[in-house]
Amino acid sequence: MAGDAQDHFGETHLRSLIKGISWRVVDSLDTALQSFLVTGSPKWALTIASIEALTKIALYYGHERAWGRVRWGRDGEAHLRSVAKGASWRVVATLDTFLLSWLVTGSVKHAGAIASLEVFTKIALFYLHERGWKLVPWGKIAAAGSAGALAAEPAVAR
């Protein structure tokens, strides 16, 4: 329910990291599929997805930490916040996919096609991932002025 204690939380660094890894699995599988459909090459598809597994974990972690500082959408329409996070992530991630695909295939045409297809699949997948993680209390920490910590880790783990 909007405005309840669950909408007023921050995240520990470890929660952000684990979210990044879980998203990376979903995202990499989708990238491999899209890359294969565009290039017809399993080698290129797996190479692009494998490199992304490294670059995007760091990018996603930074994205999560940045959004942790944004208070907008926590008190009201949490679904809209998830959409906005998904869209902002998609910009960062699509640029990464485009550059990596271009580097691996040597083709701007292939890179553009892979990055363009992903825009449609990834926003929906990211939204579902965000909504799923909202249900997980582990690693949430109380925001200033909220009712208290929700399954927070010790401060040392942050």
Q: What is the DSSP string of 11-28?
A: E-HHHHHHHHHHHHHHHH
Mean pLDDT within 37-42:
97
Mean pLDDT within 131-153:
72
CA-derived radius of gyration, the chain? 17
Query: pTM for the whole thing?
Result: 0.66
Least confident of 21-30, 38-47, 69-78, 133-142: 69-78
Q: What is the DSSP secondary structure assignment for residue 156, as one 8-state letter? A: G
SS3 content of the chain, % helix, strand, coil (to 5): 75, 5, 25
* 117: helix, strand or coil: helix
Least confident of 11-20, 73-82, 105-114: 73-82
Beta carbons of 150 and 137 less than 8 angstroms apart: yes
| Calpha distance 14→48 (Å, rounded) | 26
- 30: its two tokens: 């989708």
- 63: its two tokens: 């994205």
pLDDT score of 5:
47
In a 10 Å sphere around its CB, with 0-12 CB exposed, 13-18 middle and 19+ buried, how is residue 154 labelled? exposed
Mean pLDDT within 39-44:
97
More reliable by pLDDT, 57 or 15: 15
The packing angle between helices 108-134 and 78-105, to 10°, is 150
